[in-house]
Amino acid sequence: MASTPPLATPAAQPDPAPANAPATAQRLLQLARETLLIEAQALHDMAARLNGRFAEAVLRMLACRGRVVVSGMGKSGHVGRKIAATLASTGTPALFMHPGEASHGDLGMITSADVLLAISNSGESEELSAILPLIKRMGVPLLAMTGRPDSNLGRHADVLLDTSVAKEACPHNLAPTASTTAQLAMGDALAVALLDARGFKAEDFARSHPGGALGRKLLTLVADVMRPAEQAPRVGLQASLPELMREISAKGLGATAVVDADGVPVGIFTDGDLRRLIERGADLQSLTAALVMHPTPHTVRPQALAVEAAERMETHRITSVLVVDEAGRLCGALNSHDLMRAKVI
Protein backbone atom coordinates (compact mmCIF):
# COMPACT_ATOMS: atom_id res chain seq x y z
CA MET A 1 0.00 0.00 0.00
CA ALA A 2 1.40 3.40 -0.96
CA SER A 3 2.15 5.67 1.96
CA THR A 4 0.42 9.02 2.33
CA PRO A 5 2.34 12.22 1.59
CA PRO A 6 4.89 13.15 4.26
CA LEU A 7 3.78 15.28 7.16
CA ALA A 8 6.77 17.48 6.52
CA THR A 9 9.88 17.32 4.39
CA PRO A 10 12.79 17.02 6.79
CA ALA A 11 16.03 18.61 5.78
CA ALA A 12 18.92 16.28 5.17
CA GLN A 13 20.02 14.82 8.48
CA PRO A 14 23.27 16.37 9.68
CA ASP A 15 26.40 14.25 9.44
CA PRO A 16 27.62 12.88 12.75
CA ALA A 17 29.74 15.41 14.60
CA PRO A 18 33.49 14.78 14.79
CA ALA A 19 34.71 13.20 18.00
CA ASN A 20 34.85 15.67 20.89
CA ALA A 21 33.29 18.39 18.73
CA PRO A 22 31.55 21.07 20.82
CA ALA A 23 27.77 20.76 20.90
CA THR A 24 26.18 23.93 19.59
CA ALA A 25 22.62 24.94 20.33
CA GLN A 26 21.90 25.05 16.60
CA ARG A 27 23.02 21.47 16.03
CA LEU A 28 21.19 20.17 19.10
CA LEU A 29 17.93 21.78 18.01
CA GLN A 30 18.37 20.52 14.45
CA LEU A 31 18.84 16.95 15.66
CA ALA A 32 15.86 17.20 17.99
CA ARG A 33 13.57 18.48 15.23
CA GLU A 34 14.79 15.83 12.80
CA THR A 35 14.15 13.12 15.37
CA LEU A 36 10.59 14.29 15.99
CA LEU A 37 9.85 14.65 12.26
CA ILE A 38 11.27 11.22 11.40
CA GLU A 39 9.29 9.52 14.16
CA ALA A 40 6.10 11.44 13.31
CA GLN A 41 6.46 10.39 9.68
CA ALA A 42 6.98 6.76 10.73
CA LEU A 43 3.69 6.83 12.66
CA HIS A 44 1.94 8.56 9.76
CA ASP A 45 3.09 5.86 7.34
CA MET A 46 2.16 3.07 9.75
CA ALA A 47 -1.35 4.48 10.15
CA ALA A 48 -1.76 4.42 6.37
CA ARG A 49 -0.73 0.73 6.25
CA LEU A 50 -3.26 -0.45 8.84
CA ASN A 51 -5.62 -3.06 7.46
CA GLY A 52 -7.89 -5.89 8.50
CA ARG A 53 -5.07 -7.65 10.32
CA PHE A 54 -5.20 -5.00 13.03
CA ALA A 55 -8.91 -5.67 13.54
CA GLU A 56 -8.21 -9.42 13.61
CA ALA A 57 -5.56 -8.90 16.29
CA VAL A 58 -7.99 -6.89 18.42
CA LEU A 59 -10.70 -9.54 18.03
CA ARG A 60 -8.26 -12.30 19.03
CA MET A 61 -7.32 -10.37 22.16
CA LEU A 62 -10.95 -9.57 22.89
CA ALA A 63 -11.89 -13.25 22.66
CA CYS A 64 -8.99 -14.32 24.87
CA ARG A 65 -10.25 -16.17 27.96
CA GLY A 66 -6.92 -15.82 29.73
CA ARG A 67 -4.38 -13.03 29.49
CA VAL A 68 -2.44 -11.26 26.80
CA VAL A 69 1.18 -12.26 27.40
CA VAL A 70 3.55 -9.67 25.92
CA SER A 71 7.15 -10.60 25.19
CA GLY A 72 10.13 -8.90 23.62
CA MET A 73 13.89 -8.65 23.98
CA GLY A 74 16.04 -5.56 24.55
CA LYS A 75 14.38 -2.26 23.67
CA SER A 76 11.36 -4.17 22.35
CA GLY A 77 11.11 -5.72 25.79
CA HIS A 78 11.01 -2.32 27.46
CA VAL A 79 8.24 -1.31 25.06
CA GLY A 80 6.48 -4.61 25.75
CA ARG A 81 6.41 -3.95 29.48
CA LYS A 82 4.70 -0.64 28.86
CA ILE A 83 2.19 -2.20 26.45
CA ALA A 84 1.34 -4.92 28.99
CA ALA A 85 0.85 -2.28 31.69
CA THR A 86 -1.38 -0.19 29.43
CA LEU A 87 -3.50 -3.20 28.48
CA ALA A 88 -3.89 -4.24 32.11
CA SER A 89 -4.94 -0.76 33.20
CA THR A 90 -7.56 -0.48 30.46
CA GLY A 91 -9.48 -3.68 31.02
CA THR A 92 -7.42 -6.34 29.22
CA PRO A 93 -5.67 -8.73 31.63
CA ALA A 94 -2.01 -8.77 30.56
CA LEU A 95 1.50 -9.52 31.77
CA PHE A 96 5.04 -9.28 30.44
CA MET A 97 7.18 -12.41 29.99
CA HIS A 98 10.91 -12.05 29.37
CA PRO A 99 11.72 -14.34 26.41
CA GLY A 100 15.14 -15.27 27.82
CA GLU A 101 13.65 -16.34 31.13
CA ALA A 102 10.85 -18.16 29.30
CA SER A 103 13.33 -20.82 28.16
CA HIS A 104 14.29 -21.37 31.79
CA GLY A 105 10.88 -21.94 33.33
CA ASP A 106 8.89 -18.76 32.83
CA LEU A 107 7.13 -20.30 29.84
CA GLY A 108 4.89 -21.79 32.50
CA MET A 109 3.28 -18.35 32.73
CA ILE A 110 1.45 -19.08 29.48
CA THR A 111 -1.65 -21.27 29.32
CA SER A 112 -3.67 -22.45 26.35
CA ALA A 113 -6.28 -19.79 27.20
CA ASP A 114 -3.79 -16.97 26.62
CA VAL A 115 -2.65 -14.97 23.61
CA LEU A 116 1.01 -14.13 22.99
CA LEU A 117 1.96 -10.71 21.62
CA ALA A 118 5.59 -11.02 20.51
CA ILE A 119 7.56 -7.87 19.65
CA SER A 120 10.78 -7.76 17.65
CA ASN A 121 11.83 -5.18 15.08
CA SER A 122 14.10 -7.62 13.25
CA GLY A 123 11.83 -10.59 13.86
CA GLU A 124 14.93 -12.71 14.39
CA SER A 125 15.44 -12.44 18.15
CA GLU A 126 17.06 -15.71 19.22
CA GLU A 127 15.27 -15.72 22.57
CA LEU A 128 11.86 -15.36 20.94
CA SER A 129 12.68 -17.80 18.14
CA ALA A 130 13.58 -20.44 20.73
CA ILE A 131 10.11 -20.47 22.25
CA LEU A 132 8.00 -20.08 19.09
CA PRO A 133 7.76 -23.85 18.36
CA LEU A 134 6.55 -24.48 21.92
CA ILE A 135 4.01 -21.68 21.63
CA LYS A 136 2.66 -23.14 18.40
CA ARG A 137 2.56 -26.64 19.94
CA MET A 138 0.48 -25.30 22.85
CA GLY A 139 -2.02 -23.84 20.40
CA VAL A 140 -1.55 -20.34 21.81
CA PRO A 141 -2.47 -17.67 19.22
CA LEU A 142 0.65 -15.72 18.20
CA LEU A 143 0.33 -12.04 17.40
CA ALA A 144 3.54 -10.55 16.05
CA MET A 145 4.64 -6.93 15.99
CA THR A 146 7.68 -6.68 13.74
CA GLY A 147 9.42 -4.41 11.25
CA ARG A 148 10.19 -7.37 8.94
CA PRO A 149 7.09 -9.30 7.88
CA ASP A 150 9.27 -11.91 6.11
CA SER A 151 11.25 -12.69 9.27
CA ASN A 152 11.09 -15.86 11.35
CA LEU A 153 8.63 -14.21 13.75
CA GLY A 154 6.54 -12.86 10.88
CA ARG A 155 6.29 -16.29 9.23
CA HIS A 156 5.17 -18.00 12.46
CA ALA A 157 2.59 -15.36 13.37
CA ASP A 158 -1.12 -16.04 13.25
CA VAL A 159 -1.67 -12.30 12.92
CA LEU A 160 1.10 -9.97 11.76
CA LEU A 161 1.22 -6.27 12.65
CA ASP A 162 3.67 -4.38 10.45
CA THR A 163 5.65 -1.82 12.49
CA SER A 164 8.40 -1.24 9.93
CA VAL A 165 9.91 2.23 9.56
CA ALA A 166 11.77 3.85 6.68
CA LYS A 167 14.70 4.73 8.92
CA GLU A 168 15.69 5.23 12.51
CA ALA A 169 16.05 8.73 13.90
CA CYS A 170 19.59 7.88 14.97
CA PRO A 171 22.08 9.67 12.64
CA HIS A 172 23.77 6.28 12.14
CA ASN A 173 20.43 4.55 11.48
CA LEU A 174 21.33 2.06 14.21
CA ALA A 175 19.85 2.90 17.62
CA PRO A 176 16.19 1.80 17.97
CA THR A 177 14.32 5.10 17.91
CA ALA A 178 11.63 5.41 15.25
CA SER A 179 11.08 1.62 15.39
CA THR A 180 10.42 1.57 19.13
CA THR A 181 8.14 4.60 18.78
CA ALA A 182 6.18 2.66 16.17
CA GLN A 183 5.91 -0.37 18.47
CA LEU A 184 4.76 1.77 21.37
CA ALA A 185 2.16 3.53 19.26
CA MET A 186 0.85 0.24 17.86
CA GLY A 187 0.46 -1.02 21.42
CA ASP A 188 -1.50 2.09 22.34
CA ALA A 189 -3.70 1.61 19.27
CA LEU A 190 -4.47 -1.96 20.35
CA ALA A 191 -5.27 -0.85 23.91
CA VAL A 192 -7.56 1.97 22.77
CA ALA A 193 -9.43 -0.27 20.33
CA LEU A 194 -9.83 -2.93 23.02
CA LEU A 195 -11.09 -0.59 25.71
CA ASP A 196 -13.66 0.81 23.31
CA ALA A 197 -14.78 -2.69 22.29
CA ARG A 198 -15.14 -3.64 25.97
CA GLY A 199 -17.17 -0.54 26.79
CA PHE A 200 -14.45 0.44 29.27
CA LYS A 201 -15.40 3.68 31.04
CA ALA A 202 -13.58 6.29 33.10
CA GLU A 203 -15.04 4.71 36.24
CA ASP A 204 -13.47 1.37 35.27
CA PHE A 205 -10.12 3.08 34.74
CA ALA A 206 -10.37 4.67 38.17
CA ARG A 207 -10.91 1.29 39.82
CA SER A 208 -7.51 0.13 38.59
CA HIS A 209 -5.93 3.45 39.64
CA PRO A 210 -7.29 4.01 43.18
CA GLY A 211 -4.12 5.77 44.26
CA GLY A 212 -4.09 8.24 41.38
CA ALA A 213 -5.77 11.59 40.98
CA LEU A 214 -8.46 10.19 38.68
CA GLY A 215 -9.17 7.36 41.09
CA ARG A 216 -9.64 9.77 43.95
CA LYS A 217 -11.97 11.92 41.88
CA LEU A 218 -14.11 9.09 40.56
CA LEU A 219 -14.18 6.80 43.58
CA THR A 220 -14.25 9.14 46.60
CA LEU A 221 -17.75 9.81 47.93
CA VAL A 222 -18.87 12.70 50.09
CA ALA A 223 -19.46 10.15 52.87
CA ASP A 224 -15.77 9.23 52.74
CA VAL A 225 -14.50 12.74 53.50
CA MET A 226 -17.34 14.64 55.19
CA ARG A 227 -17.45 15.63 58.84
CA PRO A 228 -19.98 13.38 60.62
CA ALA A 229 -23.25 14.60 62.11
CA GLU A 230 -21.83 15.26 65.57
CA GLN A 231 -19.16 17.54 64.07
CA ALA A 232 -21.54 19.41 61.78
CA PRO A 233 -22.36 22.85 63.27
CA ARG A 234 -26.05 23.57 63.74
CA VAL A 235 -28.34 25.94 65.60
CA GLY A 236 -32.10 26.46 65.77
CA LEU A 237 -34.00 29.28 64.14
CA GLN A 238 -34.27 31.24 67.36
CA ALA A 239 -30.62 30.95 68.36
CA SER A 240 -29.00 34.25 69.32
CA LEU A 241 -26.02 35.66 67.50
CA PRO A 242 -23.65 34.79 70.37
CA GLU A 243 -24.89 31.19 70.11
CA LEU A 244 -24.14 31.20 66.38
CA MET A 245 -20.64 32.52 67.05
CA ARG A 246 -19.96 29.87 69.69
CA GLU A 247 -21.13 27.06 67.38
CA ILE A 248 -18.98 28.32 64.51
CA SER A 249 -15.93 28.51 66.77
CA ALA A 250 -16.58 25.13 68.39
CA LYS A 251 -16.94 23.16 65.15
CA GLY A 252 -14.27 24.98 63.15
CA LEU A 253 -16.12 24.95 59.83
CA GLY A 254 -16.34 28.71 59.41
CA ALA A 255 -20.13 28.46 59.20
CA THR A 256 -23.13 26.87 60.86
CA ALA A 257 -26.33 25.38 59.56
CA VAL A 258 -29.63 26.75 60.76
CA VAL A 259 -32.10 23.88 61.12
CA ASP A 260 -35.82 23.60 61.80
CA ALA A 261 -37.42 21.42 64.46
CA ASP A 262 -36.94 18.30 62.26
CA GLY A 263 -33.25 18.92 61.76
CA VAL A 264 -33.66 20.03 58.13
CA PRO A 265 -31.28 22.86 57.12
CA VAL A 266 -33.24 25.98 56.21
CA GLY A 267 -30.33 28.39 56.19
CA ILE A 268 -26.61 28.92 56.76
CA PHE A 269 -24.60 31.61 58.52
CA THR A 270 -20.86 32.12 57.98
CA ASP A 271 -18.11 34.00 59.79
CA GLY A 272 -18.02 36.28 56.76
CA ASP A 273 -21.64 37.18 57.41
CA LEU A 274 -20.68 38.03 60.98
CA ARG A 275 -17.91 40.40 59.83
CA ARG A 276 -20.32 42.17 57.51
CA LEU A 277 -22.84 42.63 60.34
CA ILE A 278 -20.15 44.17 62.54
CA GLU A 279 -19.04 46.48 59.70
CA ARG A 280 -22.63 47.70 59.32
CA GLY A 281 -22.88 48.40 63.06
CA ALA A 282 -25.83 46.04 63.58
CA ASP A 283 -27.22 45.44 67.07
CA LEU A 284 -25.77 41.97 67.54
CA GLN A 285 -27.62 41.23 70.77
CA SER A 286 -31.05 41.59 69.19
CA LEU A 287 -30.50 39.34 66.16
CA THR A 288 -31.48 35.69 65.83
CA ALA A 289 -30.44 33.00 63.39
CA ALA A 290 -33.70 33.33 61.47
CA LEU A 291 -32.95 37.02 60.81
CA VAL A 292 -29.32 36.73 59.66
CA MET A 293 -29.13 33.37 57.88
CA HIS A 294 -28.91 32.82 54.12
CA PRO A 295 -31.97 30.73 53.18
CA THR A 296 -31.86 27.57 50.99
CA PRO A 297 -28.25 26.55 51.67
CA HIS A 298 -26.34 24.35 49.24
CA THR A 299 -26.58 20.69 50.17
CA VAL A 300 -25.27 17.34 48.90
CA ARG A 301 -26.03 13.70 49.65
CA PRO A 302 -23.47 11.38 51.29
CA GLN A 303 -23.57 9.09 48.22
CA ALA A 304 -22.58 11.91 45.84
CA LEU A 305 -19.06 12.00 44.46
CA ALA A 306 -16.78 14.28 46.42
CA VAL A 307 -15.67 15.87 43.15
CA GLU A 308 -19.29 16.93 42.52
CA ALA A 309 -19.31 18.74 45.85
CA ALA A 310 -16.04 20.43 44.87
CA GLU A 311 -17.53 21.55 41.56
CA ARG A 312 -20.57 22.98 43.35
CA MET A 313 -18.36 24.95 45.72
CA GLU A 314 -16.35 26.32 42.82
CA THR A 315 -19.44 27.21 40.78
CA HIS A 316 -21.12 29.08 43.63
CA ARG A 317 -17.87 30.45 45.10
CA ILE A 318 -18.47 28.95 48.52
CA THR A 319 -16.12 27.04 50.80
CA SER A 320 -18.52 24.59 52.46
CA VAL A 321 -21.68 22.59 51.81
CA LEU A 322 -24.09 20.82 54.13
CA VAL A 323 -24.66 17.07 53.81
CA VAL A 324 -28.23 15.83 54.14
CA ASP A 325 -29.83 12.38 54.22
CA GLU A 326 -32.75 11.16 52.09
CA ALA A 327 -35.22 12.92 54.39
CA GLY A 328 -33.32 16.20 54.01
CA ARG A 329 -31.99 16.15 57.59
CA LEU A 330 -28.50 17.41 58.35
CA CYS A 331 -26.11 14.45 58.66
CA GLY A 332 -22.73 16.04 58.03
CA ALA A 333 -20.75 18.92 56.59
CA LEU A 334 -17.94 19.37 54.10
CA ASN A 335 -15.57 22.19 53.27
CA SER A 336 -12.74 22.78 50.83
CA HIS A 337 -10.07 21.87 53.41
CA ASP A 338 -11.64 18.40 53.80
CA LEU A 339 -11.46 17.93 50.03
CA MET A 340 -7.85 19.08 49.88
CA ARG A 341 -6.83 16.70 52.66
CA ALA A 342 -8.39 13.85 50.67
CA LYS A 343 -6.56 15.13 47.55
CA VAL A 344 -9.82 15.42 45.63
CA ILE A 345 -8.84 18.98 44.75
Question: What are the distances in angstroms from CA 317 to CA 300, 310, 311, 321, 322?
Answer: 16, 10, 10, 11, 15
pLDDT for res 1: 46
User: pLDDT category, 329, cuts 50, 70, 90?
Assistant: very high
Checking if the pLDDT of 199 tops 90, the result is: no
User: Rounded distance, CA 37 to CA 41, Å?
Assistant: 6
Tell me the mean pLDDT in the region 274-295. Answer: 90
The whole-model pTM stands at: 0.65
CB 291 within 8 A of CB 283: no
The helix (run of H) or strand (run of E) holding residue 58 is helix 52-63
Tell me the mean pLDDT in the region 69-96. Answer: 95
Task: Indicate the SS3 state at residue 282.
Answer: coil
Question: What are the distances in angstroms from CA 40 to CA 47, 165, 238?
Answer: 11, 11, 70
